């Protein structure tokens, strides 16, 4: 029997309205509604179209899907997804990202069902931050500065580089994925109700330094804004929250003491080109370097305006020098987990793709941002011609001839 809810889950995850899907299928919007609510079952040619659109097997629509089997109900608190309010106000986009997170959470649950983790550093850090904020009488700016210092210490960052930013944040317990989110969202983050932190990075932004800021910005949300209901914030409150995450990111990526030392070697502080060596060292944008210098009082208001005007005049607000040469850090944690559970025999990846998830490798690419080729490698069966060791074969021949 066709399970309409499976279709609804896929449709919402990809952000299609019933009308859009009906046009793809060449049926009425009412027909899609009937499929989803189990009033009628689609013909086989429609099922074939659905499996092509969503990159799943036909049987996907006739068995309980992964959201029924590998995730706790209501584990994704939509209210707490940290991204910008103008997007949050678009209900279909909010629902799509929440559904995507539910599928990702199911995927991680599936992969890690037999993997034991120690208490994750990011959870310990978050709890320390909560305790500090609940007991501190310092102003908010000082609190954010101290939390950025604490975060670099606890996550074991070196004090003179951000080269391992992605690796160390993933190692701390955060699950980071890439996705074609769209032009209006750089990234977003979330704590699930079962204490699993996610960061979703847009893959349209091909700049290492901007991606690094996105990671630090979302880490700031995870630490500073735990359980904040972003959907209930007005525009002013949203702007304040975003400003706090920006402050955290700049303080986290450019720790005060070494950065002040570095700035002593900058001859013309209003000239963005003078900051190129610092951009190479810290893997941050010229704009963030100027923002941090202004925040620390190295640039006064007039000089910061001149610095920003120079960025605009040189075209650096659209594309900066070195953006093409600094390597973009990409998530590796989930790929490593897949390799581990496959090697240890904990998960049969072919079984996962074809039978448990009933999907194509394109589906997993859409879901995780990991290239199809990575998953395809697990679908290639090794051909065994029953060859025996040459020495053993010679022994067999001798025995027959004796």
Higher pLDDT, 381 or 276: 276
Mean pLDDT along residues 197-209: 87
pLDDT of residue 390: 47
The predicted structure's pLDDT at residue 399: 52
pLDDT value at 115 more than 50? yes
pLDDT of 5-26, one tens digit each?
Answer: 999 999 999 999 999 999 999 9
Q: Are 218 and 181 in contact (CB under 8 A)?
A: no
> Looking at the predicted structure, is the pLDDT value of residue 135 above 90?
yes
Share of the chain above pLDDT 70, in %: 91
Domain map (residue ranges) of the chain: 1-64
pLDDT (tens digit per residue) in 94-107: 888 999 999 999 99
| Sequence-separated (6 or more) residues with CB below 8 Å from residue 306 | 270
Strand partners for 136: none
pLDDT in tens, 55-78: 999 999 999 999 999 988 788 988
Which pLDDT does position 259 carry in this prediction? 97
* Residue 233 clears pLDDT 90, i.e. is over it: no
Q: What average pLDDT score do residues 131-144 get?
A: 97
| Fold topology of 1-64 | 434 Repressor (Amino-terminal Domain) (1.10.260)
Q: Are strands 175-179 and 187-191 parallel, antiparallel or unpaired?
A: unpaired
Average confidence score pLDDT of the chain: 91
Residue 248 neighbours by CB distance under 10 Å: 25
The predicted model gives 386-398 an average pLDDT of 48
What is residue 382's predicted lDDT score, i.e. its pLDDT?
45
Which pLDDT score is estimated for 94? 80
Q: For position 80, what pLDDT does the model report?
A: 87
Environment class of residue 230 by beta-carbon count within 10 Å: exposed (0-12), middle (13-18) or buried (19+)?
A: buried
Average pLDDT over residues 198-216: 90
pLDDT score of 288 more than 80: yes
Give just the sign of the alpha carbon dihedral 312, 317, 319, 323.
positive
pLDDT tens digits, 23-55 = 999 999 999 999 999 999 999 999 999 999 999
User: pLDDT tens for residues 334-385?
Assistant: 999 999 999 999 999 999 999 999 999 999 999 999 999 999 999 885 444 4
The answer to whether the beta carbons of residues 250 and 291 sit under 8 Å apart is: yes
Mean pLDDT, to the nearest integer, of 265-291? Answer: 96
Buried b (16+ CB within 10 A) or exposed e, 252-270: bbbbeeebeebbeebeebb
pLDDT computed for residue 329 by the predictor: 92
With a cut of 90, say whether residue 241 has pLDDT above it. Answer: yes
179: number of Cβ within 10 Å: 20
Q: What is the pTM of this model?
A: 0.91
């Amino acid at each position: 029997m066709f399970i309409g809810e499976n279709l609804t889950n896929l449709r919402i995850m990809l952000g299609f309205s019933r009308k859009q899907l009906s046009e793809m299928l060449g049926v009425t919007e009412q027909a899609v509604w009937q499929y989803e609510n189990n009033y009628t079952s689609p013909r086989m040619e429609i099922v074939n179209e659905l499996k092509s659109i969503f990159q799943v097997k036909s049987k996907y629509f006739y068995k309980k899907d992964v959201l029924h089997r590998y995730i706790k109900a209501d584990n994704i608190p939509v209210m707490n997804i940290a991204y910008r309010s103008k997007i949050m106000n678009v209900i279909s986009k909010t629902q799509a990202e929440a559904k995507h997170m539910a599928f990702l959470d199911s995927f991680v649950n599936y992969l890690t069902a037999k993997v034991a983790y120690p208490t994750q550093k990011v959870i310990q850090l978050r709890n320390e931050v909560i305790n500090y904020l609940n007991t501190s009488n310092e102003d908010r700016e000082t609190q954010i500065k101290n939390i950025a210092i604490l975060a670099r210490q606890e996550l074991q960052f070196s004090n003179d580089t951000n080269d391992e930013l992605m690796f160390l944040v993933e190692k701390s317990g955060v699950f980071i994925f890439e996705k074609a989110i769209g032009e209006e969202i750089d990234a977003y983050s979330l704590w699930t109700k079962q204490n699993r932190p996610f960061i979703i990075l847009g893959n349209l932004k091909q700049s290492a330094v901007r991606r690094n800021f996105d990671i630090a910005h979302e880490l700031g949300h995870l630490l500073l804004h735990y359980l904040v209901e972003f959907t209930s914030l007005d525009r002013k409150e949203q702007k304040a929250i975003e400003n706090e995450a920006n402050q955290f990111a700049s303080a986290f990526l450019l720790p005060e003491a070494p950065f002040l030392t570095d700035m002593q070697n900058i001859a013309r502080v209003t000239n963005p080109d003078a900051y190129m060596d610092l951009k190479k060292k810290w893997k941050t944008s010229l704009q963030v370097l100027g923002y941090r210098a202004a925040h620390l009082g190295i640039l006064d208001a007039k000089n910061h305006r001149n610095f920003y005007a120079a960025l605009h005049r040189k075209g650096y607000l659209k594309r900066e020098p070195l953006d093409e040469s600094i390597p973009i850090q990409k998530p590796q944690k989930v790929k490593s987990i897949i390799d581990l559970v496959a090697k240890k025999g904990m998960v049969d990846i072919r079984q996962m793709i074809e039978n448990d998830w009933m999907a194509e490798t394109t589906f997993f690419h859409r879901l995780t941002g990991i290239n199809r080729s990575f998953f395809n490698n697990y679908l290639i069966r090794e051909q065994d011609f029953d060859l025996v060791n040459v020495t053993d074969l010679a022994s067999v021949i001798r025995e027959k001839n004796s």
